[in-house]
Structure 1
């Protein structure tokens, strides 16, 4: 019999941070309300398997030479999978995770929204050259007035938004409260009730629309609200119908939701390791997966072409030649690698030049850690060279 008196669950405030995240990223449904992203009734798409002994592959990282096995052991890994030419060559579960475990993706989920916008544009439902107010007219009273959908996709709107994760009063902290990840403080402040309230509260600009890249999670939520308005559906239903079912997902996924039922597009998506790999392999194959052209090849290819000169500041620490486009990170603007990245070490890595896809799910102790990110990229670059020998 399970003795509940001995169970040490994370606190309601701080469950998503170290040390609790080693457990909570695999148990989000036990911490906050969620909505299902149904996988549908069709059989899941199948991977071929060509397992290879890759743990002994060595590479030079931030602290000298080490093996892939050491890297996985030392980098707070929960799940790791590598595909080469569509076949699984390495699959590893750690820290209590298994093939059916849903794991929080944090900002990896932003890239799902970028792909959905591409699907909707192909259907003629959205025009990314149009102002966002065409789809969300309420934003005419905010700093988003005059910004195009394309600028928001590239995180180049000029809207002021403080993304400081460790500041309890920053704009991203307001999102944490609005989306029910943190309890509402009883401090007399006017805390937002919902994520939509946060969007409507943004009245200031930090720079002109289109002038520069500045990473702000709220941009993804604005896009998701537009998709919901266009489709007349909630985001979990949109992702199910237009992405998860076409991919042939193995398991239903879920989103955390706010008090109004809005699914947190910027970081509340949870899925299995293999299903993240399905999404990544679709990117590697220019939008083609499970016998379907899920998003036009031209859209994925355009995601790989970005303005490096607008990618400035500490964004260049881990990826000095990097860039950002349509809700994706580029490892190097001169090469076709796309990355879906989330805090605490979530990563989907897609390199069509090597027919290589990898997913790493982690529970780092830090929101951002450039040393661990550079270590991860060094390991992945060594792996993709090794599997192509």
Structure 2
């Protein structure tokens, strides 16, 4: 198995869509304090699920990967993500500015966990994606601790290339897998199409990167993990590795799609 790193963010987004389809979450416009009421005292009552999905929540979070005392290190190596989430504060008004930080996706993870009630996120992943897509290999999702652990939804889903490719195929086919709708077409389109609302950007939507205006999209991990999808060209590219190297992968993928 290969670590996904931040490709897990895109899979977390899929599960949020499944939870909405299942009626466990009402809509992306819900304030996250409906699920994490302890953050009300920290001023999070105006932060919505959509803000987290679009990375426009305004949370204060140090994304540095080299600072051993930063938030990213605390989330990656810490033993109590729920406690770390409880310390979160805002630095800007929600919905005004894009800021790519992993704290947004971990907040989505806690929203998802609270909505599931009697299931873990991993169990929900198995039920909604791994079993229906008939994945070829088992996978694992790292948690913060053994007892009552919370999945690190901002990273750390460990799987094989073929199975990551199946996730790309699922979204290429607008959430449909061999005639069965796994996640709604509406969610797939909403997640991967350009949004022009205030605070949004033209290269990112619901935890998916948008490399061009041509309806292609991709999941990306920090060390060169990619699932690139171009529905128009019927093209899926998976690239895994321990290093990104000096290659400009966005340009490589879009150039291949153009020539395909």
Q: Flag whether TM exceeds 0.5 (same fold).
A: yes
Task: Give 1:237's aligned residue.
Answer: 123
Task: Give 2:257's aligned residue.
Answer: 384
The answer to whether the Cα contact below 8 Å between 1:251 and 1:272 also exists between their aligned partners in 2 is: yes
Say whether 1:134 aligns with 2:34.
yes
Which string of whole-angstrom CA distances, capped at 9 and with x for unpartnered residues, describes residues 105-125 of structure 1? 000011111111111212222
From 100, 105, 108, the equivalent of 1:215 is 100
The answer to whether the Cα contact below 8 Å between 2:95 and 2:199 also exists between their aligned partners in 1 is: no
Say whether 1:331 aligns with 2:211.
yes
SS at match of 2:214: coil
Query: How big is the shift at 1:290?
Result: 3.4
SS at match of 1:354: coil
Query: How big is the shift at 1:344?
Result: 0.7
Paired residue total: 255
From 89, 93, 109, the equivalent of 1:224 is 109
Query: How big is the shift at 1:382?
Result: 3.4
Whole-angstrom distance in 2 between the partners of 1:143 and 1:168: 27
Whole-angstrom distance in 1 between the partners of 2:35 and 2:198: 30
Structure 1 segment 102-181 matched on structure 2, within 5 A: 102-126=1-25, 127-178=27-78
From 272, 276, 289, the equivalent of 2:160 is 272
The answer to whether the Cα contact below 8 Å between 2:235 and 2:257 also exists between their aligned partners in 1 is: yes
Whole-angstrom distance in 2 between the partners of 1:150 and 1:337: 21
Query: How big is the shift at 1:328?
Result: 0.8
Q: Which one has the largest radius of gyration?
A: 1
Query: How big is the shift at 1:176?
Result: 2.3
SS at match of 2:240: strand
Which string of whole-angstrom CA distances, capped at 9 and with x for unpartnered residues, describes residues 198-223 of structure 1? 110113x2210000110111111111
TM-score between the two structures when normalised by the length of structure 2: 0.92
Structure number with the higher strand fraction is 1
SS at match of 2:44: coil
Which string of whole-angstrom CA distances, capped at 9 and with x for unpartnered residues, describes residues 240-259 of structure 1? 01111111111111011112
For the aligned residues, what is the CA RMSD? 1.8
SS at match of 1:340: strand
Task: Give 2:226's aligned residue.
Answer: 347
Query: How big is the shift at 1:167?
Result: 1.2
SS at match of 2:232: helix
Query: How big is the shift at 1:143?
Result: 4.4
Gap regions ≥5 residues in structure 1: 1-101, 179-192, 313-321
Which string of whole-angstrom CA distances, capped at 9 and with x for unpartnered residues, describes residues 320-377 of structure 1? xx42111111112x22111101101111101111111111001117xxx7x53xx222
